[in-house]
């Protein structure tokens, strides 16, 4: 009884294998061709723009935002720090404070608002672009706390 059960299951498996190899229901689609379901009604507008074009548009928007931010930062290092503000913000001499640190400068709380939203931290490079060697500039970013130092006329400001 077990042998007849075993032989019928083998026959069914053989029939299934031959059916799958000769069946026309399995189509030979290539990974490089468009998928037949990609042209559905929901994707009509999106089919024209490929991922590469969308990525390039995103990079262009990113470049323009970066240039705008850079142009907003230009007056920060020019003559935007008044001498009166400088004297009230920090001590110009590097005297020892209570902790004994000669580089510890005094500052007031209001100066941080002046430089708010004008600086950005480093970003991770997740997707390596094709033009990395030619048109990109990379700088190693050290670990640790970052601070802004603005120097003018032998006066340092640590906002």
Torsion angle (degrees, nearest 10) of CA 11, 13, 18, 24:
140
pLDDT at 53 over 50: yes
Q: Which residue has the higher pLDDT, 93 or 42?
A: 42
* pLDDT tens, residue by residue, 125-159: 777 788 888 888 877 777 777 777 777 776 666 65
39 contacts 48 by C-beta, under 8 angstroms: no
The pLDDT of residue 48? 59
The pLDDT of residue 91? 44
The pLDDT of residue 88? 46
159 contacts 148 by C-beta, under 8 angstroms: yes
Please give the average per-residue pLDDT across 81-100, as a whole number: 48
Calculate what percentage of the chain has a pLDDT beyond 90. 6
* pLDDT tens, residue by residue, 60-90: 999 999 888 878 767 655 555 454 554 444 4
Residue 25 to residue 157: CA distance in whole angstroms: 73
């Amino acid at each position: 009884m077990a042998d007849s059960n075993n032989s019928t299951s083998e026959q069914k498996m053989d029939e299934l294998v031959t059916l799958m190899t000769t069946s026309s229901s399995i189509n030979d689609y290539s990974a490089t061709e468009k998928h037949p379901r990609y042209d559905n009604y929901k994707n009509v507008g999106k089919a024209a723009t490929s991922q590469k074009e969308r990525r390039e548009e995103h990079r262009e928007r990113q470049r323009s935002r970066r240039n705008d931010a850079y142009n907003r930062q230009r007056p920060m290092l020019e003559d935007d720090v008044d001498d009166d503000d400088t004297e009230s913000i920090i001590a110009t001499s590097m005297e020892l404070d209570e902790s004994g640190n000669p580089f510890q400068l005094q500052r007031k709380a209001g100066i941080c608002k002046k430089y708010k939203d004008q600086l950005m931290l480093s970003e991770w490079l997740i997707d390596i672009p094709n033009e990395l060697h030619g048109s990109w500039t990379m700088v190693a970013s050290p670990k640790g706390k970052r601070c802004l130092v603005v120097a003018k006329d032998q006066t340092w400001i640590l906002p």
